[in-house]
Structure 1
Amino acid sequence: MTLSRRAMVAGAGATLALGASGRRAAAQSPRLPAAVAEPPRLPVAELPRLPVADPELVARDEAVWREVAGRFRVSADFVNLENGYYGIMPEPVRHAYLRNVDRLNEENSHLLRTTYKGEADQIRRRIAGLLGVTAEEIALTRGGTEALQNLIAGYRGLRPGDAVMYADLDYHSAQYAMNWLAGRRGVTVERFAVPEPATRQAVLDAYERALRDHPKVRLLLLSHMNNRTGLVTPVKEIVTMARGHGVDVIVDAAHSWGHLDFTIADLDAEFAGFSLHKWMGVPLGAGFLYIRKDRLADVDSVFADETYPLTDIRSRVHSGTMNVAPILTVPTALDFHDALGAQVKQARLRYLRDRWVHQVLDLPGLEILTPEDPSMYGALTAFRLRGHTSEADNVAVADRLMSHHRVFTVRRGGVTRGDCVRVTPALFTSAEQVDRLVVALRDVAGRMPRA
């Protein structure tokens, strides 16, 4: 669970950061350390200062968010409303990353062969604490995609003649991994469409119907927040439903962690993949997978890995010699996350979505692809103009927003009812910037021919 901001700041104020000379001195010892100290916390001066108030009130305080935005280095050439690809680092995190790149370059294999594994274990414990699980259930990866691929490819509960299933809104790379199982495991791949408009009950009914109609399904891919429309699914209810049909679920939480306020208990997940470089602001190249401890044997080790015993979750990931600087920067990113608080981040991101969506609901033919149920969205939301469902149509809309209004968005495909344009504000986005999107959408909607 998220630490309180006051507790975190108090801890930060009492901790002194090691300088580069201190790191080099510590690295001179050739022996393996018996234990690795907790990484130093970010000094208070580098953290955003938020009032102690209701998260919904803080979310609307533009003075607070100007201060937060001041800790990000962003281009002034355009309004970036395409922050779903990855989340840029706040400046304290970027500086820490550069220090870690230098440290890795200076200490080289000595770092990797001595202190790194201990530091990585500390990071696993820190992540596990936020998720409400144990470090033995966490394995670090290079991103959410690798985490999902390893879980899907390694899942052992399939036999020839079984089926696996996913929805149209699920992440394309994870869909590909599910398709891959057909040739490797002799299974059938089932696909279904999430309904539009997507109410909570309609989504639950769609999953219940899909599971009932495909009794051979043994594995379901389930996005917590999908990357196409931003719809947030009621994961816990669907996991319970799937268990009733004898189906295991792999949860894709790459877009939701650090974006929404939740723990594993809120999902009731047994297998899940996460990204650290989206909404936690870690440098590109970091994520992790989760396997509930009593289910570890249901996922194979990767390529018969012998680095760790089969009883160790780290045997489910083998990335080779990788850039560990992003992983070493995780504690700093989590300090920044804790300073804001998961509830406040969630409230701010939903507020930015609401601010633009609620100003364009009157536009004829504009379809918003997330419902007006706060439990089913965050910042990421997509729209389409009725009748304009092709790739070309939606590329044209995104191009118009950028070329004429300097508002950057992205076209998304793969939705059964047609392509759309995704809008994703970030913590550095201001209310004025999403208001610019509103003006731009009125222009675009007025220029597109009515269906």
Structure 2
Amino acid sequence: MQSNYLKSQFLLKEGITYLNFGAFGACPKPVFERYQQYQLELEQEPTQFITVNGLQYLRQSREALAAFLNCNSDDVVYVTNPSYGVNIVAKSFPLKEGDEVLTSNLEYGACDRTWSYYCEKKGAKYVRQEIKFPIQSKEDFIEQFLNGLTSKTRIVFLSHITSSTGLRLPIEEICAIAKQKGLITFVDGAHAPGQLPINLGTLNVDFYTGACHKWMLTPKGSSFLYVKKELQNLCDPLLISWGYKSARPSHSQFLDYHQLQGTRDFSAFLTVPAAIGFMKENNWSEVAQNCRAIAMSNADRFRDLLKTEPLHNSKGDFIFQMCSTLIKTKQPEQLHQLLFVKYNIEIPVMQHNNMTLLRYSIQAFNSQQDLDILYNALEDIIKTTNLVDL
């Protein structure tokens, strides 16, 4: 069966029910092997790799990524993780005292901290617009979110797919409305590439950062930042290095400033063409659809077991390959540890605002059996411990 073949292509340990792909991803064997080939080439001739061959590989990889995202290859640069990309933009963006950055209260904690830090330094305000659950529809979310807009809003920052709640947000509509109002838009797409199609050519977003090492299947430390050409001059490098006033400048200051920053192993960046190739060879759009079907079909089942309220009333709008369920526990860390140690299940139990969430991720190596194992474990925990309140 195709699912068994795909499971054999991943390096995950046997015996673990792995339902946490959304955290750090997992790399298939052919992509990991390509990664190691690049690392070996680096060690065999470091100078040629870093100063000559590696630059050609970077260009080729960036071109493959740009084709995958439908954007110009000069408008995207590799970064180690999406938080790095957020830091570039948040540090550089010309906020003035009294300006506002509008976001939701569903965003990733590291990004919240980044914006809070730079807003505080600049005298601006980071507005975390509250989203009330259950969300009834895309239109309901849009209305709730846009209630946070004021005459002081300068930039809108929003996740494509949220980390803790796993919700796919209506960024297309939000970006279109923001553009009509003359606002800058920034989408945190950490979980989106590889999980759903990305078309930066039609999205009309100003900044977009995404991970390749999550749903795109590359090794860790491989992500990207896209910046619309007319705004690239705003983006100062986090690290000043040889790209600044380069003796051999390229055609793009954006690439010079951000592509090469000191001595580092950028082999993970170079595996993007191999990862895209792996997805094409294995009809990844169909794989993703099957994974989404499993994620969606189990959502109500876990909510009923845990006797909690839904996060939304429209699964088709909000669920892709990740699904979060509210869970009533005063000891989330102990619950997570018990699930791993006793039941061999790797799944996050996360706190976000005043919520505790159990989030499962469904990837090519997962099956309905994995969620049955989780369901049975939770049933047992409910019966035999006081870790879950009903």
The change in CA–CA distance for 1:409 and 1:203 in structure 2 (over 3 A counts) is: same
By how many angstroms is 1:170 displaced? 0.9
Quote how far apart the aligned CAs of 1:272 are: 0.6
Distance 1:151-1:309 versus aligned 2 partners, 3 A rule: farther
Instruction: Tell me, in whole angstroms, the C-alpha distance in 2 between the residues paired with 1:71 and 1:367.
Output: 37
1:171 and 2:113 matched: no
d(CA) in 2 for partners of 1:255 and 1:232? 9
Does the Cα contact within 8 Å between 1:370 and 1:377 map onto a contact in 2?
no
Give the 3 Å change call, closer, same or farther, for CA 78–301 of structure 1 in structure 2: closer
Task: Give the match's secondary structure for 2:97.
Answer: coil
1:248 corresponds to = 184
Map Cα deviations across residues 320-353 of structure 1 (whole Å, 9 max, x no partner): 2221211222221111122234422320221231
- Correspondent of 1:216 among 147, 152, 159: 152
Distance of aligned partners of 1:107 and 1:368 in 2 relative to their CA distance in 1, 3 Å threshold = farther
Q: Which residue in the other structure is 1:186 paired with?
A: 123
> 1:248: how far off?
1.3
Gaps of 5+ in 1: 1-62
Tell me the distance in 2 between the aligned counterparts of 1:410 and 1:118: 39
Residues 239 and 261 in structure 2, CA contact (< 8 A), matched pair in contact too: no
Q: Which residue of 2 aligns with 1:356?
A: 298
Q: More deviation in 125-134 or 185-194?
A: 185-194
SS state at 2:74 partner: helix
Maintained 8 Å contact 1:367/1:384? yes
Give the conservation status (yes or no) of the 8 Å contact 2:302–2:325: no
* 2:97 equivalent in structure 1: 160
CA distance in 1, matches of 2:211, 2:156: 20
User: Which has the larger displacement, 140-149 or 334-343?
Assistant: 334-343
**Count of matched residue positions in the alignment of Structure 1 and Structure 2:** 381
Q: Please state whether the residue corresponding to 1:120 is helix, strand or coil.
A: helix
Q: 1:109 aligns with which of 40, 44, 47?
A: 47
Residue 90 of structure 1, CA deviation: 0.5
Percent same amino acid among aligned pairs? Answer: 21
CA 1:261/1:342 → structure 2, altered by over 3 Å: closer, same or farther?
farther
Aligned mates of 1:169, 1:340 — CA distance in 2: 33
Of the three residues 297, 318, 325, the one matched with 1:383 is 325
Q: Does 1:271 align with 2:207?
A: yes
Output the CA distance in 1 between the equivalents of 2:264 and 2:317. Answer: 37
For 1:210, what is the secondary structure of its paired residue?
Answer: coil
- The correspondence for 1:432, drawn from 369, 374, 377, is 369
Q: Distance in 1 between matches of 2:253 and 2:132?
A: 40
Q: CA deviation at 1:368?
A: 4.5
- Contact 2:70–2:198 (Cα < 8 Å) also in 1: no
1:315/1:84 Cα in 2 relative to 1: closer, same or farther (>3 Å)? same
Question: CA–CA distance in 2 between the matches of 1:116 and 1:361?
Answer: 49
Q: Distance in 2 between matches of 1:181 and 1:243?
A: 23
> Max radius of gyration: which structure?
1
**Contact in 2 for aligned 1:139/1:316 (Cα 8 Å):** no
Whole-angstrom distance in 2 between the partners of 1:370 and 1:381:
11
Paired residue for 1:262, among 198, 211, 224?
A: 198
Offset of residue 105 of structure 1: 0.6
- Alpha-carbon distance, 1:430 to partner: 2.2
1:132 deviates by: 1.0
CA deviation vs aligned residue, 1:86-133 (integer Å, no higher than 9, x gap): 111111111111111111110102211112112211111111111111
Q: Which runs of 5+ in 2 are unaligned?
A: none
* Alignment match of 2:27 (pick from 77, 80, 89): 89
Q: Which of 220, 238, 242 matches 1:284?
A: 220
Distance 1:281 1:443 in 2: 33
Residues in 2 aligned to 1:148 and 1:292: alpha-carbon distance in whole angstroms: 15
> Residue 163 of structure 2 is aligned with which of 220, 227, 238?
227
Aligned to 2:254: 313
Paired with 2:50 and 2:309, the residues of 1 have a C-alpha distance of 51
**Cα gap change, 1:246 to 1:375, in 2 (>3 Å):** same
TM-score, normalised with respect to structure 2: 0.90
